C-alpha cells in the first residue's frame, strides 16, 4: 500500500521537474534576442532511490539546479577584441571628421584660399597703382587667414569634444564599476543566480569597451576587475577605485589615473580618445602642429618680403604687432616666435610728397641687443625716432610731416617684431591681415623704396612680384616645400591616419564578429532546440500525469477489494 | 557548430551593412564624378591633386598677368609708331627747310608745323594708359615730360620728371620668365641733357626756321639719325617683349593642358567603370537581402501543429 503512494509521489516529483524545465525553456525562448543573455539548462537528476523488499527502485526525476551555458575563455577573448575595436573606432570617428574637414581636392577651402592669396599678389604686381587690386588682395588675404583660422578652430573644437567625451566616459566607467560592486555584494549575500551572473558579464563587457579590462571570477561568485595591462583594480568584491581624468579641454595632455597611478596606454574608447588627444605622431596635436608651422611659415615668408617694401603712401609711424614680455632681454632670449639673426636693417625717411629726406642702417646682433637697445639704435638714425610701447617697437619719423620707409632687412628683426607686415599673428590661431593694411590698402607694399632722389614709384611692382613668386617657392618644411606642397602633405598625413584607423577598425570588427559568433555558439538561444525541448518536456509531463492516473486507478482497484 | 537564429541574423545584417557601405562609396563617386572625395580615399593622390590644382591656378594667374602686360606694351608700341612718324615728318621739314631757295615766309610756315609736331611729341610722350604714364618709368602717376613755355605759350624747354623715368616695370608671365612691360623715357627720346633729346631738337629746328637761319636748320638734319635709331631700338625692345608674351602663352597652354589631364586622371572617377561596379554591387546587395530573408524566416514553429 505505502509502495503505491510512493509511486504517486514519484510521479508528482517528475511533473514538477518537467514544469521547471518547461519554465526554463520558456525563459530561453523569450530572451532569444536579449543582449548578454546566456541560455540556461535545468540539470535533471534521478531522484534518490529507495530500497524495498524486492530491490532498489527509482523515485522519478528532480530538477537539481538551473545553470547558464557560458565560457569564461570566450568572454575574455571577446573583451580583448571589443576593447581594441572601441579603441580604433574612437580614433576613426575623429579622423573621419578631420578627413572631411580637408574635403575634396579643388573645393578644398585651404587650397583655394592659398591659390587666391598668391593670385591676388600677382594681380597687384600687374596693377600696383590700382585701388581695386589692393582691395581685392586684402579680401583674398583675409579669406586665406580665415580659412586657416577656421581649420585651426575646428581642430581645437575636436580636441575639446574629445576631452568632454573622455570625461563622460570616465563617469560611466565609475558608475558601471559601482553597479558591479553592488552586484558582487548581492552575490555574496545570496545563492548563485544566472541573471546576476549575466548582469556581471554585461557590466564587465561595458567596462572593457570603455577602458579595456581583465576580469576574474572568484570562487564566491564575485568578479574582480583590473585595467588591462596593469594591476590596477577598478572593482574588487564590493570595493571600487575611481578612474579620474586630468587635463584641459584644449592643448596640453590628458592623463587618466586610477588611485593616483597614471595609465600608460589605456585601451577601449577612452584610450582611443586619449591617444587622439595626446599623440604628436598621429593625433590632433600633430595636425595642429603641422597647421601652425604651415601658417607661421607663410606669415614669416610673406612678411619678410612685405616688411622691406613700400606702399603707394607711407605712414608717419609704424608699430610692431608682436609684443615682447621683457624689452630688456636680448632678442634671441626674449621668447620671440622667430629669432632675428645678425644682420643689417635699413630705414629711410621721405617727406609727405614722397621726396627722399634721409636714410640709415642699423647693425642688429640679437645675442647682445635687446628690444630697448634696438629702439635706441634706430632712434639714433637721422630724422628717425623709436620707442618701445607695451613691449612693441614703434618707429616714427621725427618730423610729423615726414614718412617712414623700410629697406632690406637681413636681420629679420622687422619680421620677428611684426613691423610693416602683411599678416599679423604668429600661428594658425592668430593669423590675420594687418588691420592697418585693411584700413589703408594703399600701404600694401608693392614697391621698393629707393633711398635716393628717385624715391618710390607708384608703378614700381618689384615687391609685389617677389610676393607673388613665394607661391611657387620652396620656403616651408626647411626649404623643401612650396605652400601648396605643404598643404598636400598635410592632407596626405591626415588621409593616411584616417585610412589606417579605418582599416584597423574593420579588422577589429571582423575579429569581434568571430568572437561574437563563438559566444553565440556557446550561449545563444536556438529557437528550434527550445521548441524541441518544449515538446520533449510536454511529453514528459503528460507521461508523468498519465502515470499518476494509472497508479491512482491501481489504488482504486485495491480499495475496491476492501 | 551550433548555429542560433541570432547568429544568422547578425551575420546577415553584417553582410548587408558591408554591401550597403560599398554601394554608398560607389554612389558617392558617381554622384560627385570624383574618385577622391576625401584625403583618406587616396592620401598620395590627394596630395598630388592639391599640387596640380595649385599648378593650374598658377598657370591661370600667369595668363592674367600676361594679359595685363599686353595692354601697356601694345599702347607703348602705338606710341612709338606715332613718335616715329612725327619725327620723320620733322626730318622732312628740316631737309626742305635747309633748301637755299626758300624765303623767310616759307620757313616761318614750316616753323608753325614743327611747333605743332613739338606739341604732339610732348603730348604723345605724356600718354597714359588706364591712368599710368607709359614713359614715366616706375613713377607712373607723374607726367614724365615737364614743359616750360614763354609768354606766347610756345614751348621753350622740355625736361624729364627729375625723379627719373627709367625704372623698369616687369611682369612674371611664366615660370622664371619675366617681360618688361614699359620702356624707359630716355630710351625713347634720350636724356633731357642730350642735344638729340627729341623735344630739344624740335625746339632748335623751329627756332632756326622762325629766324630763317638756313645753316641752323641744316645742322639739325643729321641729328635725326640718332633720334630714329633710338626709336627703332625701343620699338624692337617692345616687339621682342610682345613676342615673348605670345610664346609663353602657348607654352602655358600646353603646360595647363598637361596639368589638367594629370589632375583628371588622378581625381576623376571612371564613370563607366563606377556605373558597372554600382550595378554589380546592387545585384550582390539584392542577393544578400534575399538570402537573409530565406535564412531568417523558417523555424520549427511553422512545422509544429
What ipTM score was computed for the predicted complex, to two decimals?
0.84
CA-based nearest distance A351→chain B, Å = 14
Which residues from B are below 8 Å from A468, CB to CB?
61, 172
Pseudo-torsion of CA A549, A550, A552, A555, nearest 10°? Answer: 170
Q: Which residues are CB-neighbours of A423 under 8 A, at least 6 positions away? A: A141, A145, A298, A299, A302, A303, A431, A432, A433, A434
The Cα A382–Cα A385 span in angstroms is 8
* Nearest C-alpha neighbor of A124 from the set B64, B175, B249: B64
Q: Would you call B296 an interface residue with chain A, using a CB distance cutoff of 8 Å?
A: no
The Cα A463–Cα A444 span in angstroms is 10
The Cα A435–Cα A413 span in angstroms is 20
Q: Would you call A16 an interface residue with chain B, using a CB distance cutoff of 8 Å?
A: no
The Cα B216–Cα B225 span in angstroms is 17
Which residues from B are below 8 Å from A129, CB to CB?
131-132, 140-141
Q: Residue-wise over B61-70: b if at least 16 C-beta within 10 A, else e?
A: bbbebbebbb
With contact defined as beta carbons under 8 Å apart, do A420 and A306 qualify? yes
Q: Which residues are CB-neighbours of A432 under 8 A, at least 6 positions away? A: A142, A145, A149, A423, A424, A425
Q: Which residues are CB-neighbours of A218 under 8 A, at least 6 positions away? A: A224, A237
Q: How confident is the model at residue B297 (pLDDT cuts 50, 70, 90)?
A: low
User: A72 - beta bridge partners?
Assistant: none
Burial class (CB in 10 A: 0-12, 13-18, 19+), A531: middle
Whether residues B40 and A96 touch (CB distance < 8 A) is answered with yes
Higher per-residue confidence, B172 vs A53: B172
Q: Would you call B180 an interface residue with chain A, using a CB distance cutoff of 8 Å?
A: no
With contact defined as beta carbons under 8 Å apart, do A210 and A176 qualify? yes
User: A215 - beta bridge partners?
Assistant: A225
Residue of chain A whose alpha carbon sits nearest to that of B3? A521
Please name the member of B58, B131, B138 whose beta carbon is closest to the beta carbon of A471.
B58
Q: Residue-wise over B191-218: b if at least 16 C-beta within 10 A, else e?
A: ebeeebbbbbbbbbbbbbbbebebebbb
Find the angle CA(B43)-CA(B46)-CA(B51) to the nearest 5 degrees.
Answer: 130
Tell me the mean pLDDT in the region B175-199. Answer: 92
Whether residues A488 and B50 touch (CB distance < 8 A) is answered with yes
With contact defined as beta carbons under 8 Å apart, do A364 and A344 qualify? yes
H-state helical runs in A247-351? 268-278, 284-307
Pseudo-torsion of CA A22, A28, A32, A33, nearest 10°? Answer: 140
With contact defined as beta carbons under 8 Å apart, do A395 and A407 qualify? no
Q: Which residues are CB-neighbours of B299 under 8 A, at least 6 positions away? A: A527, A528, A531, B5
Handedness of CA A518, A522, A527, A532 (dihedral sign): positive
CA-based nearest distance B46→chain A, Å = 7
Laid out side by side, the sheet with A317-319 consists of: A317-319, A392-397, A384-389
With contact defined as beta carbons under 8 Å apart, do A87 and A267 qualify? yes
B138-167 pLDDT, tens per residue? 999 899 999 999 999 999 999 999 988 999
Which residues from A are below 8 Å from B47, CB to CB?
485, 488-489, 491-492, 495
Q: Would you call B226 an interface residue with chain A, using a CB distance cutoff of 8 Å?
A: no
H-state helical runs in A451-526? 462-469, 483-523
* CA distances from residue A219 to A192, A224, A237, A554 in whole angstroms, order as listed: 11, 11, 11, 50
* CA distances from residue A367 to A170, A217, A364, A374 in whole angstroms, order as listed: 49, 67, 9, 12
Tell me the mean pLDDT in the region B168-180. Answer: 91
- The upper half-sphere exposure of residue A219, i.e. CA atoms within 13 Å in the direction of its Cβ, equals 0
- Is the per-residue pLDDT at B220 higher than 60? yes
- Is the per-residue pLDDT at B305 higher than 70? no
- Is the per-residue pLDDT at B211 higher than 90? yes
Q: Would you call A381 an interface residue with chain B, using a CB distance cutoff of 8 Å?
A: no
Cell numbers 564590493: residue: A238
Tell me the mean pLDDT in the region B238-261. Answer: 92
Which residues from A are below 8 Å from B5, CB to CB?
32-33, 524-527
* Nearest C-alpha neighbor of A46 from the set A63, A33, A67: A63
Q: Would you call B172 an interface residue with chain A, using a CB distance cutoff of 8 Å?
A: yes
Whether residues B164 and A453 touch (CB distance < 8 A) is answered with yes
Q: What is the helix, strand, coil percentage profile of chain B, to 5?
A: 70, 10, 25
Find the angle CA(A469)-CA(A474)-CA(A479) to the nearest 5 degrees.
Answer: 140
Helix A483-523 / helix A284-307 crossing angle, nearest 10 deg: 170
Q: Which residues are CB-neighbours of A464 under 8 A, at least 6 positions away? A: A121, A122, A124, A125, A128, A446, A447
Please name the member of B39, B62, B138 whose beta carbon is closest to the beta carbon of A460.
B138
Please name the member of B46, B65, B163 whose beta carbon is closest to the beta carbon of A492.
B46
Q: Residue-wise over B8-26: b if at least 16 C-beta within 10 A, else e?
A: bebbbeebeebbeebbebb
Measured in degrees and rounded to the nearest 5, phi and psi for residue A326 equal -120, 100
Provide the residue count of chain A.
562
Burial class (CB in 10 A: 0-12, 13-18, 19+), A351: middle
The Cα A214–Cα A66 span in angstroms is 27
Segments of chain A scoring below 50 in pLDDT: none
Please name the member of A125, A492, A524 whose beta carbon is closest to the beta carbon of B4.
A524
All three cell numbers of A181: 560592486
With contact defined as beta carbons under 8 Å apart, do A417 and A336 qualify? yes
* CA distances from residue B111 to A543, B94, B104, B148, B204 in whole angstroms, order as listed: 145, 10, 10, 18, 10
Q: Would you call A28 an interface residue with chain B, using a CB distance cutoff of 8 Å?
A: no
The Cα A181–Cα A241 span in angstroms is 10
Q: Would you call B287 an interface residue with chain A, using a CB distance cutoff of 8 Å?
A: no
Q: Which helix (H) or strand (E) holds B109?
A: helix B104-125
Whether residues A535 and B304 touch (CB distance < 8 A) is answered with yes
Cell numbers 555584494: residue: A185
pLDDT at A541: 92
Amino acid at each position: 500500500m505505502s509502495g503505491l503512494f510512493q509511486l504517486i509521489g514519484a510521479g508528482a516529483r517528475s511533473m514538477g521537474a518537467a514544469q521547471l524545465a518547461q519554465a526554463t525553456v520558456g525563459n530561453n525562448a523569450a530572451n532569444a534576442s536579449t543582449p548578454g543573455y546566456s541560455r540556461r539548462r535545468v540539470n535533471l537528476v534521478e531522484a534518490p532511490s529507495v530500497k524495498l523488499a524486492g530491490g532498489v527502485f527509482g523515485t522519478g526525476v528532480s530538477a537539481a539546479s538551473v545553470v547558464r551555458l557560458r565560457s569564461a575563455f570566450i568572454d575574455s577573448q571577446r573583451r580583448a577584441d571589443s576593447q581594441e575595436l572601441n579603441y580604433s573606432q574612437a580614433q576613426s570617428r575623429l579622423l573621419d571628421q578631420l578627413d572631411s574637414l580637408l574635403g575634396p581636392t579643388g573645393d578644398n577651402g585651404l587650397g583655394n584660399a592659398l591659390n587666391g592669396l598668391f593670385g591676388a599678389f600677382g594681380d597687384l604686381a600687374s596693377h600696383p597703382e590700382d585701388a581695386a587690386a589692393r582691395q581685392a588682395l586684402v579680401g583674398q588675404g583675409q579669406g586665406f587667414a580665415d580659412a586657416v583660422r577656421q581649420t585651426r578652430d575646428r581642430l581645437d573644437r575636436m580636441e575639446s569634444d574629445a576631452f568632454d567625451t573622455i570625461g563622460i566616459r570616465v563617469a560611466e566607467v565609475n558608475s558601471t564599476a559601482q553597479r558591479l560592486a553592488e552586484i558582487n555584494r548581492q552575490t555574496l549575500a545570496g545563492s548563485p543566480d544566472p541573471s546576476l551572473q549575466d548582469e556581471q558579464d554585461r557590466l564587465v563587457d561595458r567596462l572593457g569597451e570603455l577602458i579595456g579590462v581583465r576580469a576574474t571570477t572568484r570562487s564566491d561568485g564575485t568578479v574582480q576587475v583590473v585595467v588591462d595591462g596593469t594591476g590596477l583594480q577598478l572593482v574588487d568584491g564590493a570595493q571600487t577605485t575611481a578612474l579620474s581624468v586630468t587635463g584641459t579641454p584644449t592643448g596640453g595632455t590628458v592623463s587618466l589615473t586610477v588611485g593616483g597611478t597614471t595609465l600608460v596606454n589605456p585601451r577601449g574608447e577612452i584610450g582611443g580618445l586619449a591617444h587622439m588627444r595626446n599623440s604628436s605622431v598621429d593625433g590632433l596635436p600633430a595636425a595642429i602642429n603641422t597647421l601652425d608651422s604651415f601658417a607661421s611659415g607663410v606669415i614669416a615668408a610673406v612678411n619678410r618680403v612685405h616688411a622691406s617694401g613700400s606702399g603707394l603712401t607711407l605712414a608717419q609711424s609704424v608699430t610692431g604687432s608682436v609684443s615682447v614680455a621683457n624689452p630688456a632681454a636680448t632678442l634671441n632670449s626674449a621668447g620671440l616666435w622667430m629669432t632675428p639673426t645678425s644682420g643689417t636693417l635699413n630705414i629711410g625717411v621721405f617727406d609727405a610728397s614722397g621726396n627722399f629726406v634721409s636714410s640709415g642702417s642699423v647693425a642688429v646682433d640679437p645675442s647682445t641687443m635687446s628690444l630697448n637697445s634696438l629702439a635706441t639704435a634706430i632712434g639714433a638714425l637721422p630724422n628717425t625716432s623709436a620707442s618701445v610701447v607695451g613691449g612693441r617697437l614703434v618707429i616714427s619719423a621725427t618730423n610729423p610731416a615726414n614718412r617712414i620707409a623700410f629697406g632690406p632687412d637681413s636681420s629679420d628683426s622687422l619680421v620677428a617684431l611684426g613691423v610693416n607686415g602683411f599678416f599679423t599673428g604668429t600661428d594658425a590661431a592668430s593669423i590675420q591681415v594687418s588691420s592697418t593694411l585693411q584700413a589703408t590698402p594703399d600701404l600694401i607694399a608693392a614697391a621698393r623704396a629707393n633711398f635716393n632722389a628717385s624715391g618710390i614709384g607708384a608703378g614700381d611692382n618689384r615687391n609685389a612680384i617677389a610676393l607673388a613668386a613665394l607661391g611657387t617657392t620652396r620656403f616651408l618644411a626647411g626649404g623643401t616645400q612650396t605652400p601648396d606642397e605643404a598643404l598636400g602633405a598635410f592632407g596626405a598625413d591626415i588621409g593616411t591616419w584616417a585610412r589606417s584607423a579605418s582599416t584597423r577598425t574593420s579588422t577589429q570588427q571582423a575579429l569581434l564578429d568571430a568572437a561574437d559568433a563563438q559566444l553565440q555558439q556557446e550561449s545563444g538561444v536556438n529557437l528550434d532546440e527550445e521548441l524541441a525541448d518544449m515538446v520533449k518536456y510536454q511529453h514528459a509531463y503528460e507521461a508523468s500525469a498519465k502515470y499518476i492516473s494509472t497508479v491512482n486507478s491501481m489504488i482504486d482497484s485495491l480499495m475496491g477489494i476492501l | 557548430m551550433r548555429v542560433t537564429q541570432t547568429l544568422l541574423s547578425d551575420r546577415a545584417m553584417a553582410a548587408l551593412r558591408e554591401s550597403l557601405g560599398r554601394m554608398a562609396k560607389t554612389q558617392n563617386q558617381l554622384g560627385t564624378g570624383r574618385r577622391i572625395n576625401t584625403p583618406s580615399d587616396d592620401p598620395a593622390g590627394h596630395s598630388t591633386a592639391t599640387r596640380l590644382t595649385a599648378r593650374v591656378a598658377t598657370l591661370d594667374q600667369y595668363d592674367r598677368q600676361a594679359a595685363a602686360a599686353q595692354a601697356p606694351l601694345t599702347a607703348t608700341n602705338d606710341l612709338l609708331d606715332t613718335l616715329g612718324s612725327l619725327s620723320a615728318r620733322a626730318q622732312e621739314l628740316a631737309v626742305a627747310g635747309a633748301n637755299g631757295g626758300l624765303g623767310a615766309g616759307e620757313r616761318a610756315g614750316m616753323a608753325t608745323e614743327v611747333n605743332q609736331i613739338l606739341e604732339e611729341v610732348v603730348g604723345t610722350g605724356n600718354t597714359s594708359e588706364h591712368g599710368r604714364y607709359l614713359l614715366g618709368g616706375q613713377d607712373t602717376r607723374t607726367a614724365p615730360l615737364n614743359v616750360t613755355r614763354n609768354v606766347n605759350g610756345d614751348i621753350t624747354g622740355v625736361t624729364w620728371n627729375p625723379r627719373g623715368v627709367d625704372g623698369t616695370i616687369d611682369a612674371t608671365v611664366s615660370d622664371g620668365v619675366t617681360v618688361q612691360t614699359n620702356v624707359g623715357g630716355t630710351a625713347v627720346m634720350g636724356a633731357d641733357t642730350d642735344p638729340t633729346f627729341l623735344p630739344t631738337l624740335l625746339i632748335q629746328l623751329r627756332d632756326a626756321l622762325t629766324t630763317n637761319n638756313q645753316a641752323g636748320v641744316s645742322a639739325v638734319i643729321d641729328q635725326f639719325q640718332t633720334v630714329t635709331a633710338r626709336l627703332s631700338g625701343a620699338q624692337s625692345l617692345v616687339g621682342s617683349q610682345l613676342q615673348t608674351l605670345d610664346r609663353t602663352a602657348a607654352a602655358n597652354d600646353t603646360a595647363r593642358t598637361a596639368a589638367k589631364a594629370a589632375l583628371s586622371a588622378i581625381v576623376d572617377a571612371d564613370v563607366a567603370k563606377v556605373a558597372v561596379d554600382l550595378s554589380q554591387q546592387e545585384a550582390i546587395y539584392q542577393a544578400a537581402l534575399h538570402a537573409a530573408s530565406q535564412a531568417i524566416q523558417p523555424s520549427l514553429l511553422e512545422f509544429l501543429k
